[in-house]
C-alpha cells in the first residue's frame, strides 16, 4: 500500500477543473523535495521540440497533457489496478530545456534523469518530440544497454538530416544503438507505415537485428499476437517503452507533427499497453503530442490515457517487487 501523501486529489474533493494541474492530480515533488527518496514512479515533462523537422508544437505537450490528465481516476476499469495505491507516484515537474541549443538541452535532460535514476525512481515521461528519448536513454541505460518496445509510424533510425544534422526526431534510436544504449536484437518497432524517402532506416534495422512490424502485419495478426512476439523479443531483461502518439491513426490523434493514415484506433492504442504485463520496464515515454494541431484536446486526452495504461503496468511491477 502506498503512502497517502502520494495519492491524487479526488474529483469528489476538488472539481477536476479546479486547482493547479499536475500529472493525474498527484503531488508535485521536485528533485530537491524532502520526499523524493520515497517516490517510486516519477511523471516528468520534457517541453522541448528542437528536434522537429516539419510541424513544431510538442514543446507545449506536457502542459496540455497535465491539464487533460486531471480526468484520470483511481482505478483501472478492466484490470482493477489502483496504481496510486500500488506505488508511490509523483509529478517531478519539467526538465527546463534550452530552446536555442539542442546539445545543451540534451545534457540538461540527461542530468535531470541521472538524478531520477540515482534516486531509484522509474521515469514516465511526457514529451516533447521523439529526440527526447535519446537523452533519457543516456541516463536509463547508463550502465548497460536495454531492450525497447517502440510504438510509432516511423522507425526514427535515420543517420542524419539535411546533409549531416545528427540530432533530430528522426534519428534518436540510430544514435542510441550507436552509443550502446539499446541492444538492437532486443528492439521491436510496431506500427510502421507511410511514404518513405528511401530504405536507409529499414536497411539499418535489418543489418542490426531490429524487428520491424509494419502496420499491415499488425492489422493482419492482431494486438495479442503481435505483443506476444514483442514480449518474447525483449525477454526478461531491462526494457524501455517509447510511444509516439502518431502510432495511432490521425482520425483519433490528429494533434501531432507527422501524422500517417492507416494506423490503429484508440482502443488498440490502449490494448498494446495492457499487453506489456510481464515486461521489465525501466522507463517509458509518450511523445509528439502537439497542442497546436489538437484543437479539441482529444489527442492529449488519448495521450494521458495511454500514460495511465503504462502507469498501471509499471505500478504493478513495483508492487510485485516490494
Q: Give the model confidence (pLDDT) of 140-194 as tens digits.
A: 999 999 999 999 999 999 999 998 999 999 999 999 999 999 999 999 999 999 9
**pLDDT per residue as tens digits for the range 33-87:** 999 999 999 999 999 999 999 999 999 999 999 999 999 999 999 999 999 999 9
Strand ranges for the chain from DSSP E: 41-46, 89-94, 122-127, 146-151, 182-192, 211-214, 239-244, 281-287
Query: Within a 13 Å sphere around the CA of 44, how many CA atoms are in the beta-carbon half?
Result: 30
45: β partners: 94, 126
Task: Find where cell 495479442 sits.
Answer: 224
Read off the CATH number of the domain in which 290 is found. Answer: 3.40.800.10
Task: Find where cell 477536476 sits.
Answer: 16
154 annotated as a binding-site residue: yes
pLDDT at residue 67, rounded to an integer: 97
> Across residues 204-211, what is the average pLDDT?
98
Structure confidence at residue 2 as a pLDDT band (50, 70, 90): confident
Q: How far apart are CA 316 and CA 249, in angstroms?
A: 29
pLDDT at residue 71, rounded to an integer: 96
Instruction: Give the chain's domain count.
Output: 1
pLDDT at residue 288, rounded to an integer: 98
Q: Under a CB-based contact definition with an 8 Å cutoff, are residues 279 and 232 in contact?
A: no
Contacts of 296 (CB under 8 A, 6+ apart): none
**pLDDT per residue as tens digits for the range 240-297:** 999 999 999 999 999 999 999 999 999 999 999 999 999 999 999 999 999 999 999 9
What range defines the domain where residue 257 resides? 4-321
**pLDDT per residue as tens digits for the range 100-110:** 999 999 999 99
> Across residues 218-238, what is the average pLDDT?
98
246 annotated as a binding-site residue: yes
Please say if the pLDDT value at position 206 is more than 90: yes
Please say if the pLDDT value at position 131 is more than 80: yes
159 annotated as a binding-site residue: no
Q: How far apart are CA 196 and CA 202, in angstroms?
A: 10
Please say if the pLDDT value at position 92 is more than 90: yes
Phi then psi for 209, rounded to 5 degrees?
A: 85, 20
pLDDT at residue 45, rounded to an integer: 98
101 annotated as a binding-site residue: no
For 43, the grid coordinates are 511523471
244 annotated as a binding-site residue: yes
Amino acid at each position: 500500500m502506498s503512502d497517502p501523501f502520494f495519492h491524487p486529489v479526488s474529483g469528489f474533493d476538488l472539481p477536476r477543473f479546479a486547482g493547479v494541474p499536475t500529472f493525474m492530480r498527484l503531488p508535485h515533488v521536485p528533485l530537491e523535495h524532502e520526499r523524493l527518496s520515497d517516490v517510486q514512479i516519477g511523471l516528468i515533462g520534457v517541453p522541448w521540440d528542437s528536434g522537429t523537422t516539419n510541424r513544431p508544437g510538442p514543446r507545449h505537450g506536457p502542459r496540455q497533457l497535465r491539464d487533460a490528465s486531471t480526468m484520470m481516476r483511481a482505478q483501472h476499469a478492466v484490470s482493477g489496478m489502483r496504481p496510486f495505491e500500488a506505488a508511490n507516484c509523483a509529478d517531478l515537474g519539467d526538465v527546463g530545456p534550452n530552446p536555442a541549443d539542442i546539445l545543451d538541452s540534451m545534457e540538461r535532460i540527461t542530468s535531470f534523469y541521472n538524478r531520477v535514476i540515482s534516486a531509484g525512481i522509474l521515469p514516465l515521461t511526457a514529451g516533447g518530440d521523439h529526440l527526447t528519448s535519446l537523452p533519457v536513454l543516456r541516463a536509463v541505460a547508463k550502465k548497460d544497454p536495454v531492450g525497447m518496445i517502440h510504438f510509432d509510424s516511423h522507425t526514427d533510425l535515420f543517420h542524419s538530416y539535411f546533409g549531416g544534422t545528427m540530432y533530430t526526431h528522426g534519428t534518436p534510436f540510430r544514435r542510441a544503438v550507436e552509443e550502446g544504449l539499446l541492444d538492437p536484437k532486443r528492439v521491436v518497432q510496431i506500427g510502421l507505415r507511410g511514404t518513405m524517402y528511401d530504405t536507409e532506416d529499414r536497411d539499418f534495422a535489418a543489418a542490426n537485428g531490429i524487428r520491424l512490424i509494419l502496420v499491415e502485419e499488425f492489422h493482419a495478426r492482431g494486438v495479442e499476437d503481435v505483443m506476444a512476439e514483442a514480449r518474447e523479443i525483449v525477454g526478461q531483461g531491462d526494457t524501455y517503452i517509447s510511444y509516439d502518439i502518431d502510432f495511432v491513426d490521425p482520425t483519433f490523434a490528429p494533434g501531432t507533427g507527422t501524422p500517417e493514415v492507416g494506423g490503429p484506433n484508440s482502443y488498440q492504442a490502449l490494448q498494446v499497453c495492457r499487453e506489456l504485463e510481464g515486461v521489465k520496464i525501466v522507463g517509458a515515454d509518450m511523445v509528439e503530442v502537439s497542442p497546436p494541431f489538437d484543437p479539441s484536446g482529444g489527442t492529449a486526452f488519448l495521450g494521458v490515457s495511454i500514460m495511465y495504461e503504462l502507469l498501471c503496468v509499471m505500478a504493478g511491477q513495483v508492487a510485485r517487487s516490494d
